[in-house]
């Protein structure tokens, strides 16, 4: 795979990757770091935590580990909030060569933090299909798997980072059937977040009973989508 991958610079100075076979980048050319922070951290993780201020743990599922950018940004949040326990499951069908991963400049841009630099190396070097305790409050389950092959084993998640390649490049990962599988993994009160804002995606998510929001996208992209599974009302009447 590495022969089909090139490191590129994006608009905010952070690296991304170009998949030559697909002619598709892993992140926005306008800024990989800025995009991930905006979509997955601000409108995903931080939003969920604002909705659940008393929660002391969170279960996250990431579709598409890719460069590990969303993961290292979540680890950065975990370092800032040691009272919250993070359970992070990520899947990747086409793992990145660790030699390529080590050339990415994310740790450098995250403040020359030696702990983050060490963690970034660790997430790419640790074996697949095992559970790792990266921090006292952060457990990583890294799976070499496609979404089709992923068996949640009745696991449910508070937050889903959906970071597949774009619908026009990997249409099979954006079908109603796939969204049904992903939404079934979402807990009551859970949040699904993605950079895409396709009309069909929004219609599909609504048809699955989720509350769908169209939000302002990161620089270079007008819109993004967040969907939530509403929690049952505490005032529901039982007959």
pLDDT tens string 48-96: 999 999 999 999 999 999 999 999 999 999 999 999 999 999 999 999 9
Categorise residue 219: left if φ over 0, alpha if ψ from -120 to 50, beta otherwise.
Answer: beta
CATH of the domain at 81: 3.40.50.150
- pLDDT digit string (tens) for 2-21? 678 999 999 999 999 999 98
- Provide the domain count of the chain: 1
Element (H, E) at 206: helix 199-207
Q: Is there a domain that residue 205 lies in?
A: yes
Global pTM reads 0.94
Q: Are strands 138-144 and 130-135 parallel, antiparallel or unpaired?
A: antiparallel
Does a structural domain hold residue 22? Answer: no
What is the CA 203 to chain-centroid distance, rounded? 21
For 151, the domain range is: 31-228
2 in any annotated domain? no
> What beta strand segments (E) does 79-185 contain?
85-92, 130-135, 138-144, 157-162
Q: Is residue 9 part of a domain?
A: no
């Amino acid at each position: 795979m590495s022969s089909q991958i090139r490191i590129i610079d994006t608009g905010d100075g952070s690296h991304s990757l170009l998949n030559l076979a697909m002619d598709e980048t892993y992140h926005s050319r306008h800024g990989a770091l800025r995009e991930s922070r905006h979509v997955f951290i601000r409108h995903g993780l931080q939003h969920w935590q604002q909705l659940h201020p008393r929660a002391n743990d969170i279960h996250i599922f990431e579709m598409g580990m890719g460069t590990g950018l969303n993961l290292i940004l979540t680890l950065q949040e975990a370092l800032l909030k040691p009272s919250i326990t993070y359970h992070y499951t990520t899947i990747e069908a086409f793992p990145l060569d660790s030699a390529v991963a080590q050339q990415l400049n994310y740790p450098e841009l995250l403040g020359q933090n030696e702990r983050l630099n060490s963690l970034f190396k660790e997430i790419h070097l640790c074996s697949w299909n095992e559970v790792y305790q990266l921090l006292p409050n952060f457990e990583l389950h890294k799976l070499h798997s496609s979404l089709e092959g992923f068996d949640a084993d009745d696991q449910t998640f508070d937050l889903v980072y959906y970071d597949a390649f774009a619908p026009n490049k990997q249409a099979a990962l954006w079908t109603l059937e796939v969204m049904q599988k992903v939404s079934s993994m979402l807990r009551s009160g859970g949040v699904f977040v993605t950079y895409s804002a396709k009309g069909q995606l929004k219609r599909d998510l609504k048809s699955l009973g989720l509350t769908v929001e169209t939000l302002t996208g990161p620089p270079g992209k007008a819109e993004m989508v967040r969907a939530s599974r509403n929690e049952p009302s505490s005032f529901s009447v039982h007959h």
